Amino acid sequence: IVWQTPANPDYIIHNGRFVRPYHFEFISHVKNRWAGKTIVDLFTEEFKGRPRDYYVKAVNSGRIQVDGELVHASYVVRSSQKISHFVHRHEPPVLAEDVLILQNEADVLTVCKPASVPVHPCGQYRKNTVVGILQAEHGLAPLFPVHRLDRLVSGLLIFAKNADKAEQFRQQIEAGLLQKEYIAKVVGIFPEGEQVVDANVNYNAREGRSSVEKGKLACTKFTRISTNGTHSVVLCKPVTGRTHQIRVHLQYTGHPIANDMLYLSFSIDPMCTNCPNLAPKGYDDEGLWLRCVRYSGPGWSYECPCPDWA
């Protein structure tokens, strides 16, 4: 038995927040590097989430169309053509926590984002996002994200309610007038004093992770808040804003986030048959221990009330 939220029939709350499956049309235009490929080869090579047989059936049944018309599986696409893919969309679930509204002003909205929920539509998510939930349950739209937090990260999130205010925030961010701060629970005893990590960050979109190698310049400042001898709580101040920057920089220091399965390095003994069944050291069932706790500018600041974190 599931309980359906009365505020919006699209959401079902039952050991998580689920979205009732719905029909959706993905639209894209043929890029120059796609031109000359068959419609099936294009989808098979560029959208690897489904097998080739699915795309053959989707074209033959008309769920994939070009310029609004039915085509055959061997149809060769041309640059700038419109491709439509009709699907019955099943979004992955997220945690059932509410998006807590902290302050609702005329042109600025401040909320506390729960872990597991992406900020805006991306990848497999559209309605199970902060933007989607705020629109469905509170009628707040349009919203312009001033900054983003990774899907697994919880914390303070600020939206502009109009394009002019969003542009003001953008200018302040580019001028270095605003600064984000995070708190992370990491493995090991983090060194005392401010630690500055200057290491390039390269994001691999296909793998969905970053690495410290040839890439964009990145800098993060870390300060240990406390330690219990096994883990440390660390204040993180990103100077630049690269994808997964804090997570990969903490891994680079040898102190990855305690339950970050993507960047938590661990080794196994190839002769031991039990090691593959063990979780990495420091892993537990809590949400990713990374939270944006403070966002400040000249003369103002916000604190994110996360009372349940250790």
Rounded CA-CA distance 159/279 in Å is 37
The one catalytic residue among 150, 260, 284, 308: 150
β-sheet bridge partners, residue 155? 113, 292
CB 87 within 8 A of CB 23: yes
Rounded CA-CA distance 137/3 in Å is 15
Instruction: Give the helix/strand (H/E) hosting 234.
Output: strand 231-238
CB 92 within 8 A of CB 128: yes
Rounded CA-CA distance 299/9 in Å is 42
| Per-residue exposure over 121-135, b if at least 16 CB sit within 10 Å of its own CB, e if not | eeeebbbbbbbbbbb
User: Any catalytic annotation for residue 150?
Assistant: yes
What is the CB neighbour count within 10 angstroms for residue 228?
Answer: 9
CB 263 within 8 A of CB 127: no
Token code pair at residue 226: 């406390």
Catalytic residues: 150
